[in-house]
Amino acid sequence: MAVTAVDEDSMEEYRSRSPSVDEDEELLGAPVEKINPLGREVTLLSCVMLNLGQMLGSGIFSVPGVILNSVGSIGLFLLAWLLAPIFAAAGLAVYTELASMFPNRSGAEVVYLEQAYPRPRFLVPVSFAVTTVLLSFSAANAIIFAQYFMELFNIPATPFRQTVLALSVVTLAVTVVAVSTKWSLRVVNAFTSIKVLSQIFVVATGVAVLLGLTRIKDPLANFADPWAGSSLNGNAIATAFMKTHFAFVGWGNAFNVLAEVKSREPVRTVRNAARFSIGLVAVLFLLTNVAYIGAIPKEDFKRSGQLIGALFFSRVFGESWAAKILPVMVVFSCLGNITVGHARVIREVARQGLLPWSEFFASTKPFGTPLGPVALKYLGTVFVILALPAADAFNFLLDLSSYPDLFFAAATVFGVWILRKRRAATGILPGKFKAPNVLLAIKLASCTLLIVFPWIPPENGHADVSFWYCVVGIAILLACGLYYYVWIVLIPRIGGYKIVEEVEELAGGGRLARLVRKYPSHTTATEQDAEQERLL
């Protein structure tokens, strides 16, 4: 295993004098892998399916009731679903420009933050790494899977049964991702195809409802006064946009595997896949919600919780066999939400040298997959499923997993402007795709709204979960700052050393940055030996 020392100060001076440096020298943090140890198995179809597989998850079957209960009116409810794809498109513009600057890196946001904020050294990467690890779970979809599975087979719902079923589906999904990238992509493609067809079936059923072809007697009743009961309370608006944000969050999933895309222009491929995904899902989600509105009385809609889909099918089909179709579709939706992309994010964090046992988490042995990150995500998911009360878990997990990421999303927007200026100053060509500033402003405004508005007290009867998810999210970010200060600033100051990076070559073309201690030249031989000791 070859190790190359990199002194940050001398590297920065070299970069400033050499605008046309090799990509390895130009980049901060994790080194570029010129031979991708994960291979290049991702096609345009795979990119589309990765995005749709995450977007067409449990969200559309679980969050509409909570949204309507928060905003109070059909008009505001539909407005939230109309604005969500606009915010997603603004985020896509941000990612596309940043990806065009670093086309050989997977991991998306972790890479963009690493490059945009090199000072204070390691602060932003450490904060993102700690947050990513602490919130590395996929419990929300597993919980919805368990609820609908029990509904499908008429199993009496208990917290114990929900927990067992949730753990079972997580174990199955993680096993597929851990064993084979090619087969995990095939599974994603298969399940996502079923999910798209299922969503089309829901839309077709809604059309039948609105045309008066079903047992629903007055399908247009809820549309008569669409703005009645509207709540403009900031907390209610934040709840609506947080939930629609969750429903659309998978639009950028393929950016997490950018370095594995099999294309001459991987950024264009991933961008086009995201555009198609956002457009298709925006239409399907809007029409699905119109179907819900036509079939379900408003007050029942608001009280439906996470089972709006089941209520829709029971209202339309009664107790017939067709009422069981929806639980089957939701089960497939949750099964198809395999976390291929997020495992790459954790691997990039490891390649920055910011996780203990970085070689393990950056390695692709023995199956050519990111086994370490997959295992970490699995353990985090299991812990959360076991630790939180089953009745309250879904909404709390959804909001908690989204809230800290809003700060990083806002920082990513500012990172676009920072990197533009820095690259221009050093003579480096701008990214091939430039995001319009108006879309950057829209993305930044949406992040700000979702960060601030949840702190406004909700109106009676419109609350989702308490603002404690905001408190926990802020506490996690503060813990990141404390961890950074102790590990990167305080302990090196007491120990009389500074931290430098080394590039470590792994088998199969993998590379990572290793953080080691560097003592002043007048130190003893023993201390010089300690220089080679890793921080983690």
Residues 93-137: tens digit of each pLDDT: 999 999 999 998 888 888 899 889 888 877 887 788 777 766 655
The helix/strand/coil state of 506 is coil
Query: What pLDDT score was predicted for residue 464?
Result: 56
CA 138 to chain centre: 10
What's the full length of the chain, in residues? 536
Query: What pLDDT score was predicted for residue 137?
Result: 57
Please say if the pLDDT value at position 9 is more than 50.
no
In the chain, the percentage of residues whose pLDDT exceeds 90 is 24
Q: What is the DSSP string of 226-281?
A: TTTT----HHHHHHHHHHHHHHHGGGGGGGGGGGGB-SSSHHHHHHHHHHHHHHHH
The helix/strand/coil state of 514 is strand
Helix boundaries (H) for 153-180: 159-179
Please say if the pLDDT value at position 338 is more than 60.
no
Query: What pLDDT score was predicted for residue 209?
Result: 94
- Cis peptide leading into residue 366 (ω within 30°): yes
Please say if the pLDDT value at position 23 is more than 70.
no
**Which of 512, 526, 535 lies closest to 107 in space, CA to CA?**
512
CB 514 within 8 A of CB 22: no
Q: How confident is the model at residue 455 (pLDDT cuts 50, 70, 90)?
A: confident
Nearest-angstrom CA–CA distance, 201 and 329? 10
pLDDT tens digits for range 199-232 = 898 899 999 999 999 889 899 999 989 999 888 8
Nearest-angstrom CA–CA distance, 157 and 61? 18
Q: How confident is the model at residue 535 (pLDDT cuts 50, 70, 90)?
A: low
Query: What pLDDT score was predicted for residue 208?
Result: 94
Please say if the pLDDT value at position 24 is more than 60.
no
CA 129 to chain centre: 14
Please say if the pLDDT value at position 6 is more than 50.
no
Give the highest mean pLDDT range of 23-27, 175-179, 317-321, 445-449: 445-449
**Which of 399, 467, 396, 409 lies closest to 233 in space, CA to CA?**
467
Nearest-angstrom CA–CA distance, 330 and 324? 10
CB 330 within 8 A of CB 228: no
Average pLDDT value for residue range 248-257: 88
Query: What pLDDT score was predicted for residue 98?
Result: 95
Query: What pLDDT score was predicted for residue 169?
Result: 82
Nearest-angstrom CA–CA distance, 532 and 515? 9
Residue with structure tokens 């691997």?
Answer: 347
Query: What pLDDT score was predicted for residue 87?
Result: 94
Please say if the pLDDT value at position 1 is more than 80.
no
Average pLDDT value for residue range 279-298: 94
Q: How confident is the model at residue 26 (pLDDT cuts 50, 70, 90)?
A: very low
Please say if the pLDDT value at position 358 is more than 70.
yes
Order across the sheet with 3-6: list the strands. 3-6, 498-505, 511-518
- Better-scored residue on pLDDT, 519 or 355: 519
Query: What pLDDT score was predicted for residue 12?
Result: 40
Query: What pLDDT score was predicted for residue 468?
Result: 73
- Better-scored residue on pLDDT, 532 or 365: 365
Range of weakest confidence among 10-24, 201-215, 466-480? 10-24
CB 201 within 8 A of CB 282: no
Written as six digits, the tokens of 508 are 């199969």
In the chain, the percentage of residues whose pLDDT exceeds 70 is 82
φ, ψ for residue 516 (rounded to 5)? -135, 165
Range of weakest confidence among 155-169, 207-221, 415-429? 155-169
pLDDT tens digits for range 372-416 = 888 888 888 888 778 766 555 555 666 666 788 889 999 999 999
∠ CA 205-206-210, rounded to 5°? 120
CB 362 within 8 A of CB 110: no
Nearest-angstrom CA–CA distance, 71 and 490? 47
**Which of 27, 60, 79 lies closest to 428 in space, CA to CA?**
27
Amino acid at 373: P
Please say if the pLDDT value at position 19 is more than 50.
no
Nearest-angstrom CA–CA distance, 51 and 251? 5
- Better-scored residue on pLDDT, 319 or 322: 319
Q: How confident is the model at residue 524 (pLDDT cuts 50, 70, 90)?
A: low
Please say if the pLDDT value at position 294 is more than 70.
yes
Nearest-angstrom CA–CA distance, 114 and 210? 50
C-alpha distances in angstroms, 434 versus 19, 99, 416? 20, 10, 9
Please say if the pLDDT value at position 293 is more than 90.
yes
- Better-scored residue on pLDDT, 225 or 341: 225
Average pLDDT, the chain: 80
Query: What pLDDT score was predicted for residue 443?
Result: 94
CA 282 to chain centre: 18
pLDDT tens digits for range 479-501 = 888 888 888 889 888 988 888 88
